[in-house]
Structures are given as C-alpha cells and as structure tokens.
C-alpha cells in the first residue's frame, strides 16, 4: 500500500483557475509533462510554462463550441491504461497513447448557475461532460492515476507533491478517488434534482457538499454534524459555536417568525414558543412575550422581525438566553448584547427555504411538503350563534399561527396578540389544555375573554367546557369530529364564539 509511484505527466482542464498557478509552478519544478486544452492551456502559456495541447495528442480540434475537447480514446486510454497489464501496454504503444498519471479538473459551476436565476439554455451549457468523464475515468484507475476533482483539493495536491517530491502512494490515490466520486455524485444529484422539478419523480436524492462538525449532537455522548451552508441564512456577529440543539430551535424560530408581518418578538424553548407578542413598539413586544412564561425563557432562543434597538436591548439583556436572531441591530444595541461573550447573535438574511421536509425513519426516509397553509379571515367558518368581531378574528389568526408551530397535541391560549400559555407535546388534548391553564394561572395571566386554539379537532365537548370554566370565551379549531355538534351546542349555551378552519396542523 505504501509503494510510491512517480507522476510523470498531468492533464489539466479546469473551470476555476484561481490558485492554479502554484500547482503549475510545482509541476514544472518537478519536470512533469503538462497537457491541457482551451482556456486552461491559455492560462498556463501566459505563465511561460511549457504545455502540450490535447489537440496534438488527438489530432482533432475542439468542436461543437467547446462541447467536445477531451473526449477521445487517446486521452481516456492514457488515463485508464493499466500499467501492469501487458495487453493494455501493448495497445497504448500500438496506438501511440501517452500515459497520464495525474488529472486535475474543476467542473463547470452548475449549481451556482441555477442559483443565479439563469435561463435554461445557460444552465444546460453548464452541465460538464468532459470534466465529469475525466474524473470518473481517473478515479476508476486510481491504482495508476491520481485524480484531483475540484479546486477544493488544490492545496492537498501541492502538499502531497511537496511532501513526496512528485510521488504518490496507492493510499494517496485511493483517497483522492474517494473525493472524486464524492464530487461527481454530488454534481449528478444537483443535475437530476434540477430536471426533476418538472417531473417530480418519486425518488429521494439529496447531497450536501461538506459538513460542519458540531460540539456534539442532542446529548454530549452523541456526535453531531450539520450539512449545509449556514452563511447563506445567517451572519453570526458574536458568540460561541452554534450547537445541534441551537439549530433545532433556530429552525423552529425562523419558521414561526416568518408568519408575522406586525412587529413581533418570540421566545422559543425546545422548538416551541413559550412567549410571543405583536405590538407597535419592539420593546413592548419583548416585554409581553416574556410575560407569557418568564421561567421557560431562561436559556431560550429569541427572534424578532424588526431591528433590535437600544430600548429593547436593555430589557433583553436582563435575562440569560442562548441565541438572538433579528434582521439587524442598532450599534448601541449590539454593544449591550455583546457584553456576554457566549451569546450567539445572528442576523437573518433573506433566504428561500425548501418546501420539502425529510427525516430518517427506520431503514429509510420520510418526505413531506412543508406545512405552508396559514389561515386567513376567509378560511374561518363561524359555527356558533355568536360571531367573532374584527379584533377577535385577528386574534384567532394570531393564535392559530402559534398552534401550527407547536408540538402536538397542543393547545394555545392567547389574547390581544399575546401568547398567554400553551400546552404542548401531550398525549391528550385535555392534558394539553390543563397544562396551558395551569401555566397561565401560575403567572397571573387573566384568561377572561381569551382564545383557545387547537391543532386538531375536539372529539368531545370536555375541552371547551374546561376552557370556558377558566374564562376562555373564543375557540378556533379545525373541526371534523363526528361529535362537533356537542362542542357547538356547549358554546352556544354559554355564549362562546367558535370558528372552524377545516385544516389540521399536527406537528411531531
């Protein structure tokens, strides 16, 4: 495994030429024959370094607007030839095929082109054919050929050439081959997913290039890695490394706050809102969000849809929290918030999140559409004799947004665009309601005239009765139970308002 093989020749065909010059200089220093084509050959020639055009090997020009350059038996034969195979050796001598020991490729930026919003013709032209073929061929013949599949491996190549003076072991070549198939499979997955947007073939293909190792997973004895680029979504201004549990809460916080247009502040703990309020001033939204559950707010995740100003920062600074997320911060607010060195301060960028969700399940994966249904006024069907007022309708919509983003079974109690209390993750709806009532009572929050929102229908009238006895007078729920009329009759008898949405919002 440690037998060293000298690199005598290299084929270079790259899209991104940044940081390529040191490699070219090193190859010349090691007296390695360089073959190249197109823009890469021009780049090398400008460095006054000798390079042989691929066309001199193939006796064929680049054709079809550059679509066909390296696709030729004299190129691929030199890459794939097995050096210890007598038949292969005889054929490459017969057909005058030069052996190629090193292949350096950087593919056309297909994903970046798609992300840029380019038209389909430009996107299709960024599907690399020659480069991906070179990668696969060289990786297959790792016993004899070293493949560098991406600009991200340029530094590794220089280090290898310098440390071993132009020689490589089969272990080195197999490691680079592994990287090559990582690159090629990711590239093909991106292309497939682009085409599949039109057809929605039921297959599950996802690929993320590179993972960020976290301090640990959900618990210290579990390893954790995040695959994705957080820099696309956030700018971290301050604080320690984001943890696995932070990410779970951040995801829940971002999805929740996206529902609100009014000035809103939310506090989350274990993926559920423990406080949220919408107000005219941010500091008021914060104070009323905190009032909903000042105990659970300790160590929570804070998020708002407005710039954090000095007034709000002074109040926020009074409690311990893990993360704060906002679209921006005033300079003096940042000075206050940065006093604690471990506080994670994030700016949320504009980003379109995927509309699909998936999670590992048993020996496979579950995939579903993200719950993008948010009820509006015309979705609410009044089913009681007493109809809601305009202000009550706004509160209904506020409360239903919260219940949508809370773990089932869940009950939310709210009033005047403020979360009073919630019961989440319970095995029965009655238990969720009792939990919410107990919590609101413990913080001296008045439930008279409050709204009860439920993520699913009430199978019996017991929940509306318990809520009413606690002071609740308005109910929003999906409806759909065979015993809906029992709940409606109770509400009518006690002068309550109830509306149906027709949409269940389970969240597990």
SS3 state of residue 129: coil
Is 270 annotated in the active site?
yes
Please name which of 251, 208, 250, 204 lies closest in space to residue 227, comparing C-alpha atoms: 208
Q: How far apart are CA 2 and CA 85, in angstroms?
A: 20
Q: How far apart are CA 107 and CA 151, in angstroms?
A: 9
Burial of 311 (0-12, 13-18, 19+ CB in 10 A): middle
Q: How far apart are CA 85 and CA 70, in angstroms?
A: 24
Instruction: At 388, list the tokens.
Output: 């809601």
Q: At 144, give phi and psi (nearest 5°).
A: -125, -20
Number of neighbouring beta carbons within 10 Å of residue 131: 23
Q: Which of 17, 89, 140, 174 is catalytic?
A: 140
Is 140 annotated in the active site?
yes
**Nearest-5° Cα angle at 296, 290 to 302:** 55
175's enclosing H/E stretch is helix 170-196
Q: Yes or no: say if 296 and 336 are a contact pair by the CB < 8 Å rule.
A: no
- 483 forms beta bridges with none
Q: Which of 270, 338, 373, 494 is catalytic?
A: 270
Torsion from C-alpha of 282, 288, 289, 295, nearest 10 degrees: 130
Question: What are the residues whose beta carbons fall under 8 Å from the beta carbon of 289, sequence distance 6 or more?
Answer: 265, 266, 267, 275, 276, 277, 418, 419
Active site residues: 140, 270
């Amino acid at each position: 495994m440690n037998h060293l093989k000298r690199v005598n020749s290299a084929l270079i065909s790259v899209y991104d030429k940044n940081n390529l010059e040191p490699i070219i200089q090193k190859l010349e220093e090691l007296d390695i024959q360089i073959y190249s084509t197109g823009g890469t050959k021009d780049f090398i020639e400008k460095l006054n370094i000798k390079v042989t055009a691929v066309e001199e090997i193939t006796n064929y020009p680049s054709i079809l607007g550059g679509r066909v350059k390296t696709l030729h038996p004299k190129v691929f034969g030199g890459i794939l030839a097995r050096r210890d195979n007598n038949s292969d050796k005889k054929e490459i001598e017969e057909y005058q095929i030069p052996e190629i020991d090193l292949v350096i490729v950087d593919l056309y930026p297909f994903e970046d082109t798609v992300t840029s919003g380019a038209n389909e013709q430009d996107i299709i032209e960024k599907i690399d054919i020659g480069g991906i073929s070179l990668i696969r061929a060289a990786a297959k013949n790792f016993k004899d050929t070293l493949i560098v599949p991406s600009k991200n491996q340029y530094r590794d190549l220089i280090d290898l050439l310098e440390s071993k003076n132009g020689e490589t072991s089969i272990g080195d070549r197999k490691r680079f081959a592994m990287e090559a198939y990582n690159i090629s499979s990711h590239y093909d997955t991106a292309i497939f997913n682009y085409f599949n947007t039109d057809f929605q073939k039921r297959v599950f293909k996802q690929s993320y290039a590179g993972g960020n190792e976290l301090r640990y997973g959900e618990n210290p004895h579990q390893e954790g890695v995040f695959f994705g680029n957080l820099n696309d979504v956030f700018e971290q201004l301050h604080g320690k490394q984001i943890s696995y549990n932070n990410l779970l809460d951040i995801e829940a916080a971002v999805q929740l706050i996206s529902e609100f247009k009014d000035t809103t502040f939310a506090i989350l703990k274990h993926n559920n809102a423990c406080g949220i309020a919408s107000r005219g001033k941010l500091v008021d939204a914060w104070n009323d969000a905190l009032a909903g559950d000042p105990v659970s707010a300790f160590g929570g995740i804070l998020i708002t849809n407005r710039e954090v100003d000095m007034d709000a920062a002074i109040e926020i600074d009074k409690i311990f929290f893990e993360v704060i997320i906002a679209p921006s911060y005033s300079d003096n607010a940042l000075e206050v918030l940065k006093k604690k060195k471990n506080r994670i301060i994030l700016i949320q960028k504009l980003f379109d999140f995927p509309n699909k969700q998936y999670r590992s399940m048993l020996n496979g994966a579950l995939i579903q559409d993200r719950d993008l249904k948010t009820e509006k006024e015309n979705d609410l069907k009044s089913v009681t004799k007493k109809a809601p007022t305009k202000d009550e309708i706004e509160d209904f919509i506020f409360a239903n947004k919260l219940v949508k983003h809370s773990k089932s079974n869940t009950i939310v109690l709210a009033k005047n665009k403020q979360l009073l209390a919630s019961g989440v993750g319970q095995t029965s709806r009655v238990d969720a309601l009792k939990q919410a009532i107990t919590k609101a009572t413990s913080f001296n929050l008045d439930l008279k005239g409050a709204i009860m929102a439920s993520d699913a229908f009430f199978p019996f009238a017991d929940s509306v009765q318990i809520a009413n006895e606690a002071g609740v007078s308005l109910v929003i729920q999906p409806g759909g139970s065979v015993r809906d009329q029992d709940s409606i009759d109770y509400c009518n008898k006690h002068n309550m308002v109830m509306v149906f949405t027709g949409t269940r919002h389970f969240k597990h």
